[in-house]
């Protein structure tokens, strides 16, 4: 399959001016691209060179490539139109024949012992892998060595958390190519081309005598593939808003898949002509067998209305992370983002409990009221909100006394313990970081039942603009600030230890930062935390000492023959299963270090 180049989105939630006429790729180019590409600067590819590139190559560059920071203000149909105007058809970078396995058979058991399926091994989102499934004793972590590397051809970001099942690994990519690989060697079993970039972790669930592989993409489509073959079973768009993106992993239970829905609209606001804003975050429940809708619940109850010239509201409260299952109470928990435009709403920056059967909101607990923020705020300086939304999932844990507790980490730098039996009443709250737009707890914490592990981003940027005017990355990150890993006693919130960040050395690449925004993963006695400096480190759960450290920022000889490099670690975290550890390396957004590689480690590299 190829990227869909012309898609007509339903824009019923948008201002009429956005859907009044078909988008002209030539007009978009003249308005947004010509100033640079027609300038005659020898360092910028001219229009004639762009017209030699494939439509797919150009669209990938806009969606999650070199031009992503520039293109965030463009609607998806504008990106597709300008790519179609400039490029030539075709150009998908499918794996070379030598990259495929001799035996492409994929067989999956109904429930394997050594698997990491979806966002977390447990549906309570602890991101904790027990001993029998991890297969990596504490004493052997220092012997971990690279076993193989797999390159994502043409990408500059690697951000889809692998799913490991029965000797097979399933992973998405920024190009939208979904791959089924051999865990042992990294050879390719099958590939599938999604419409847009695939960031979310993939989830496999039994379906008849086979399995459905469930995931979303960054332009709003949700897929069900036959995991054994990569064959498309169905494809749905759970939210019709143009700016929809699906970043959080799905949750499945008793024949239903629950999909968190987020948005690009927060970034569209850097376009002064964009009517801000109309998107509403939601959870959508679909039947796994055919993709039909069971229910849909919005985090903002009222539709946006026009509040001024080119202004709409309320909006926002996107849901960025995987839902958390609570079968005892018959609910699932989600966390929400901030509002994009006024008026502020009561369920932004909040933890919500939704009934599994109906989607009815049983209760909500807001931790930062009045948080109205979008990407234009940095320039205008007139937004009342601090941008303290939630990007990480709730963790459901059981205390030694038998009581349950919900654990939530926020970009504010706060970690909360909530009581699920008292409508999310706060039991304790502890500050683990300064917080900020890219601060605090970003993508996920981990818990081993006794202690909670929260890594802190707190990335900061230079106040000076990028000295290289032709570098599409924004301001440089500060190589000396951010980061840190905190262990908290779950029962009380008491700090057990703090592992300070390790600052970047003088020879580090531009984009190096000690910020630890990547989701944390845990196995007995060990905590794995990645950093924007490209290092993946294993910390002792007892005292926070670093027991293993691998610098992923290097060139790799890959098993699929693709030229690959490592970069910053961000987004979904490391996966441990069957004695092996897997992590993606490379994150070119936000001024970080680009990369395009999936790394597989084992004891002594065997």
Residue given tokens 């683990």 in the structure block: 432
Residue 599 is assigned to a structural domain of this protein: yes
Q: 599: pLDDT confidence band, cut at 50, 70 and 90?
A: very high
Is the pLDDT assigned to residue 468 strictly greater than 60? no
Evaluated on CA atoms 273, 88, 38, 69, the torsion sign reads: positive
Q: Following DSSP, what letter does each residue of 109-151 receive, concatenated?
A: -SS-SS-B-SS-SSTT---B--HHHH---GGGGGGEEEEEEEE
Same domain, 366 and 509: yes
568 is written with which tokens?
A: 């910053």
Please report, to the nearest 10 degrees, the dihedral formed by the alpha carbons of residues 331, 333, 337, 338 taken in order.
Answer: 60
- Neighbour count for residue 582 (Cβ, 10 Å): 23
**pLDDT for residue 34:** 75
Tens of pLDDT along 136-195? Answer: 999 999 999 999 999 999 898 999 999 999 899 999 999 999 999 999 999 999 999 999
List residues bridging with 528 in a β-sheet: 521, 538
Same domain, 50 and 118: no
Long-range contacts, 119-122 (Cβ 8 Å, 24+): 119/161, 119/201, 119/203, 119/248, 119/249, 119/321, 119/322, 119/393, 119/444, 119/572, 120/322, 120/393
Q: Following DSSP, what letter does each residue of 471-487 receive, concatenated?
A: --S-SPBPTTS---EEE
Name residues whose C-beta falls within 8 Å of residue 262's C-beta, 6 or more positions apart in sequence: 244, 245, 246, 247, 248, 281, 318, 319, 320, 337
The chain-wide mean pLDDT, for the chain, equals 89
Same domain, 71 and 203: no
Most confident of 309-323, 382-396, 581-595: 309-323
CA angle, 235 then 239 then 244, to 5°: 100
We report the CATH number of the domain holding residue 429 as 2.140.10.10
**pLDDT for residue 376:** 85
Same domain, 301 and 334: yes
Structural domains counted in the chain: 2
Residue 121 is assigned to a structural domain of this protein: yes
Tens of pLDDT along 192-214? Answer: 999 999 999 999 999 999 999 99
Query: Domain range for residue 74?
Result: 16-86
Is the pLDDT assigned to residue 62 strictly greater than 80? no
433 is written with which tokens?
A: 């970081």
- Which residue among 86, 112, 147 closes a domain? 86
Same domain, 139 and 72: no
CA angle, 526 then 528 then 534, to 5°: 150
**pLDDT for residue 8:** 31
- Which residue among 86, 114, 147 closes a domain? 86
Residue 2 is assigned to a structural domain of this protein: no
Burial string for 378-410 (b: 16+ CB within 10 Å, else e) reads: eeeeebebbbbbbbbbbbbbeeeeeebbbbbbb
Please report, to the nearest 10 degrees, the dihedral formed by the alpha carbons of residues 420, 421, 427, 429 taken in order.
Answer: 20
CA gap 499, 532 in Å, rounded? 16
Same domain, 171 and 51: no
**pLDDT for residue 198:** 96
List residues bridging with 353 in a β-sheet: 333, 363
**pLDDT for residue 18:** 46
297 is written with which tokens?
A: 């619940």
Residue 473 is assigned to a structural domain of this protein: yes
Same domain, 50 and 161: no
Same domain, 53 and 136: no
CA gap 159, 541 in Å, rounded? 26
Same domain, 371 and 491: yes
- Which residue among 53, 86, 119 closes a domain? 86
We report the CATH number of the domain holding residue 24 as 1.10.760
Please report, to the nearest 10 degrees, the dihedral formed by the alpha carbons of residues 123, 125, 130, 135 taken in order.
Answer: 100
Pairing of strands 414-419, 425-431: antiparallel
The pTM of the full predicted model, rounded to 2 decimals, is 0.91
Residue 5 is assigned to a structural domain of this protein: no
Using an 8 Å Cβ cutoff, are 83 and 58 in contact? yes
Q: 595: pLDDT confidence band, cut at 50, 70 and 90?
A: very high
The closest alpha carbon to 118, from 203, 19, 186, 56, belongs to 203
Same domain, 567 and 491: yes
The closest alpha carbon to 511, from 567, 573, 451, 445, belongs to 567
List residues bridging with 452 in a β-sheet: 447, 488
Same domain, 330 and 381: yes
57 vs 485, higher pLDDT: 485
Burial tier of 139 (Cβ tally within 10 Å: 0-12, 13-18, 19+): exposed
**pLDDT for residue 5:** 30
- Neighbour count for residue 470 (Cβ, 10 Å): 9
Strands of 288-394, DSSP E: 293-298, 305-308, 311-313, 315-316, 324-326, 331-335, 339-341, 350-355, 361-366
Residue 37 is assigned to a structural domain of this protein: yes
Tens of pLDDT along 66-121? Answer: 676 666 777 778 877 877 887 777 666 789 999 999 999 999 987 767 799 999 99
Same domain, 365 and 319: yes
Tens of pLDDT along 262-312? Answer: 999 988 888 888 899 999 999 999 999 999 999 999 999 999 999 998 899
């Amino acid at each position: 399959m190829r990227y869909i180049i012309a898609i007509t989105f339903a824009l019923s939630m948008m201002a009429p001016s956005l859907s009044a006429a078909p988008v002209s790729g030539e007009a978009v180019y003249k308005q947004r691209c010509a100033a640079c590409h027609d300038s005659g600067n020898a360092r910028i590819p001219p229009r004639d060179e762009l017209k030699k590139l494939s439509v797919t190559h150009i669209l990938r560059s806009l969606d999650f490539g070199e031009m992503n920071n520039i293109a965030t203000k463009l609607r998806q149909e504008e990106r597709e139109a300008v790519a179609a105007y400039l490029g030539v058809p075709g150009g998908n970078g499918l794996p070379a024949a030598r990259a495929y396995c001799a035996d492409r058979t994929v067989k999956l058991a109904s429930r394997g012992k050594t698997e990491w399926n979806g966002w977390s091994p447990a549906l309570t989102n602890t991101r904790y892998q027990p001993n029998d499934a991890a297969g990596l004793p504490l004493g052997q972590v220092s012997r971990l060595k690279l076993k193989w590397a797999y390159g994502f051809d043409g990408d500059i970001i690697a951000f889809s958390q692998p799913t490991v099942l029965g000797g097979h690994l399933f992973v998405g990519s920024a190009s939208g190519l979904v791959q089924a690989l051999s865990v042992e060697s990294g050879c390719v079993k099958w590939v599938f081309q999604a419409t847009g970039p695939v960031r979310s972790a993939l989830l496999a669930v039994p379906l008849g005598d086979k399995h459905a592989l469930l995931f979303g993409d960054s332009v709003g489509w949700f897929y069900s593939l036959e995991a054994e073959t990569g064959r498309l079973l169905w494809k749905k768009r759970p939210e019709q808003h143009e700016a929809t993106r699906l970043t959080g992993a799905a949750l499945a239970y008793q024949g239903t898949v629950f999909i968190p829905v987020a948005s690009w609209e927060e970034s569209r606001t850097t376009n002064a002509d964009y009517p801000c804003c109309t998107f509403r975050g939601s959870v959508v429940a679909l039947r796994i067998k055919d993709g039909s809708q069971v229910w849909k619940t919005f985090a903002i109850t009222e539709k946006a209305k026009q509040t001024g010239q080119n202004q709409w509201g309320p909006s926002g409260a996107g849901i960025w992370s995987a839902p958390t299952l609570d079968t005892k109470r018959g609910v699932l928990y989600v966390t929400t983002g901030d509002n994009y435009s006024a008026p502020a709403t009561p369920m932004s920056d909040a933890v919500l409990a939704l009934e599994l059967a109906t989607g009815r909101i049983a209760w909500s607990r807001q931790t930062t009221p009045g948080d109205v923020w979008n990407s234009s705020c940095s320039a205008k300086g007139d937004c009342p909100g601090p941008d303290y939304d939630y990007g990480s999932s709730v963790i459901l844990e059981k205390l030694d006394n038998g009581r349950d507790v919900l654990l939530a980490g926020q970009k504010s730098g706060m970690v909360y313990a909530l009581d699920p039996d008292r409508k999310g009443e706060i039991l304790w709250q502890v500050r683990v970081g300064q917080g900020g737009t890219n601060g605090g707890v970003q993508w996920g914490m981990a818990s081993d039942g006794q202690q909670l592990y929260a890594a802190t981003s707190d990335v900061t940027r230079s106040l000076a603009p990028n000295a290289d005017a032709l570098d599409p990355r924004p301001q440089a990150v500060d190589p000396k600030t951010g980061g840190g890993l905190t262990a908290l006693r779950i029962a009380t919130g008491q700090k057990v230890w703090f592992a300070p960040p390790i600052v970047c050395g003088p020879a580090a690449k531009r984009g190096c930062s000690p910020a630890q925004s990547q989701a944390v993963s845990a196995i007995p006695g060990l905590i794995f935390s990645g950093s924007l400096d490209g290092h993946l480190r294993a910390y002792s759960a007892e005292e926070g000492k670093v027991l293993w450290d691998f610098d992923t920022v290097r060139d790799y000889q890959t098993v699929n023959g693709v030229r690959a490099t490592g970069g910053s670690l961000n987004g979904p975290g490391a996966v441990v299963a069957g004695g092996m550890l897997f992590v993606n390396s490379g994150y070119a957004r936000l001024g970080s270090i680009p990369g395009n590689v999936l790394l597989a480690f084992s004891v002594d590299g065997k």
